[in-house]
Amino acid sequence: MNKSSSGCRQPHPHTLKQLGWTDEFSQAFSKYSSPYIPGRVACRQKTVWEVFIDNGSVTAGISGALRRLDRFPAVGDFVVLLHQPEAGSSTIVDILPQKTVFTRGASEREGTDQVIAANIDTVFIVTAAGHDLNARRIERYLAIAHASGARPVIVINKSDLADDPALLTEDIIPVASGIPLIPVSAISGEGIDQLEPYLTPGTTIVLIGSSGVGKSTLINRLLDQPMQEIGGIRENDGKGRHTTTVRQLFILKGGALMIDNPGLREVGIGTASAGIAETFSDILELAEGCRFSDCRHEREPGCAVQEAANKGILPASRLENYHRLMRELAFEQEKSDIGLVRIERKRWKAIKIQARDIKNAKSRF
């Protein structure tokens, strides 16, 4: 394994079942037989993917059909490989249905959400004592985490840098809504044992957070060896460098799997409407008392949400962030609708090309 995150090779003695394979995936794969085998995507390097298979790994490209349909495997995906060891080649020909999928809004003017990781059980939202400890940013992360279908856990790293680590959670508790809050120090190891209930064998955890919060240091601590490069942060604003440049699936000592991510400079809300509902459940509960069922909680008369904000029951900054994310959600939904039309056109174009190629092939015989 290359110590730099530019390499993905991870020899391993694990079976796919130990890597998260379930009966549901077996059922989805049942229509395939030799020379097809299942695997799990561990890393992507430009045009090739590193894929875990039973007791090993292979480097694979993807089929032309998947490429034409813009279906690119994400880290954590279970895939179908055309495996030809005698020819020294493996090709990903299909992606099995995803149990959960973690996405963020695409940066393009038109497009659908960008898949960050698939088939995850838990999202570790990693923040840090200091500049990064921001309730509004955590609300944004919580929205996309809830929308993924996985359970979120907030990990506050660098607790050793705080004057009073016990106070780190005070500003975050009001936005966490019962989500676990775990202060840790990846450097000293303090609090790491509190993560163990989420690191059970065969479960998959994805790490998300800004650059410089210590995700790579946390990975190294949990792996008990330096697998990821570590970068510093700027003292003036607490922002860090992107030392992790690719998403990668690691196998931890106890059998859990963890996906590291490059630091996210921009966290688009995408189409995470369900995630916003869970993140701001307190606002939705207050909204049941509004005079109008379609109240937008802005200047409408009889708005119970605005009344709670005016009385200090609901923090004004939380309501302001809710409005900001709702506006962004509306924009992203419109953008997604446009993108889906484009994808559907491209899909039918690919189908027509395949049908033409089959017809031409038949005419030659």
Q: How many angstroms separate the Cα of 181 from the Cα of each of 101, 154, 191?
A: 23, 5, 11
Segment 1-19 mean pLDDT: 68
pLDDT tier for residue 361 given thresholds of 50, 70 and 90: low
What does the block give as tokens for 17? 């079942």
- C-alpha closest to that of 81 among 93, 72, 69, 71: 93
Amino acid 237: pLDDT: 46
Comparing CA positions, the residue from 17, 5, 109 lying closest to residue 50 is 5
Question: Domain 101-260 belongs to what topology?
Answer: Rossmann fold (3.40.50)
Question: What tokens does 337 get?
Answer: 């609708």
Domain residue ranges of the chain, discontinuous segments joined by +: 17-95, 101-260, 273-340
Q: Residues 287-336: pLDDT tens digits?
A: 999 999 899 898 899 999 999 999 999 999 999 999 988 888 877 677 66
Residue 12 has a pLDDT of 80
* Whether pLDDT at 158 is above 50: yes
Predicted confidence (pLDDT) per residue in 96-105, tens digit:
999 999 886 6
Q: How many C-beta atoms lie closer than 10 Å to residue 72's C-beta? A: 15
Of 19-23, 202-206, 303-307, 323-327, least confident by mean pLDDT is 323-327
* CATH architecture assignment, domain 273-340: Orthogonal Bundle (1.10)
Instruction: State residue 113's pLDDT score.
Output: 61
Which whole number is the average pLDDT over 158-174?
Answer: 81
State the CATH class of domain 17-95.
mainly beta
